[in-house]
């Protein structure tokens, strides 16, 4: 099954972003699931490497890296990155700049699309 998770919320401050990435990571561990995580809007901030969070607080960069190791593809809206001053070099390993055309393709190919 091809699954697409679209995340719009900011990296920190919204439980929905945390829960979306938790669900995507869990789904990516299941046999037969091809997971694509598409970060757009403030969601692109979740893929910035080296974020410092308080001890005991969740770390989205580590969660995304875990999803990537489980086979998830992590795509970031290039227009959204540019609007926030995020460069390709600031992204986690395995996360990549993407486009609306690529999101359109992934949406049309997906068996399930979840939007957070």
Domain CATH code at residue 50: 3.40.1260.10
pLDDT at res. 53? 76
- Give the structural domain span for 94: 2-115
Question: For the chain, what is the radius of gyration of the CA atoms?
Answer: 13
The per-residue pLDDT for 13 is 79
Count: domains in the chain: 1
pTM value is: 0.92
What pLDDT is stored for residue 25 in this prediction? 92
pLDDT tens per residue across all 116 residues of the chain: 999 999 999 888 778 999 999 999 999 999 999 999 999 999 999 999 888 877 777 788 888 988 898 889 999 999 999 999 999 999 999 999 999 999 999 999 999 999 99
- Tokens read off for 92: 């986690």
Find the farthest-apart pair of alpha carbons in the chain and give their distance in angstroms, rounded. Answer: 40
């Amino acid at each position: 099954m091809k699954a697409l998770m679209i995340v719009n919320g900011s990296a920190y401050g919204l439980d929905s972003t945390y829960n979306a990435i938790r669900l995507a990571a869990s789904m990516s561990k299941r046999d037969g699931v091809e997971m694509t995580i598409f970060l757009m809007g403030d969601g692109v901030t979740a893929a910035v490497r080296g974020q410092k969070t308080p001890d005991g607080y969740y770390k989205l960069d580590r969660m995304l890296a875990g999803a990537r190791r489980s086979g998830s593809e992590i795509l970031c809206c290039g227009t959204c990155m540019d609007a926030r001053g995020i460069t390709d070099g600031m992204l986690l390993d395995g996360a990549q700049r993407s486009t609306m055309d690529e999101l359109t393709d992934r949406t049309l190919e997906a068996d399930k699309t979840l939007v957070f």
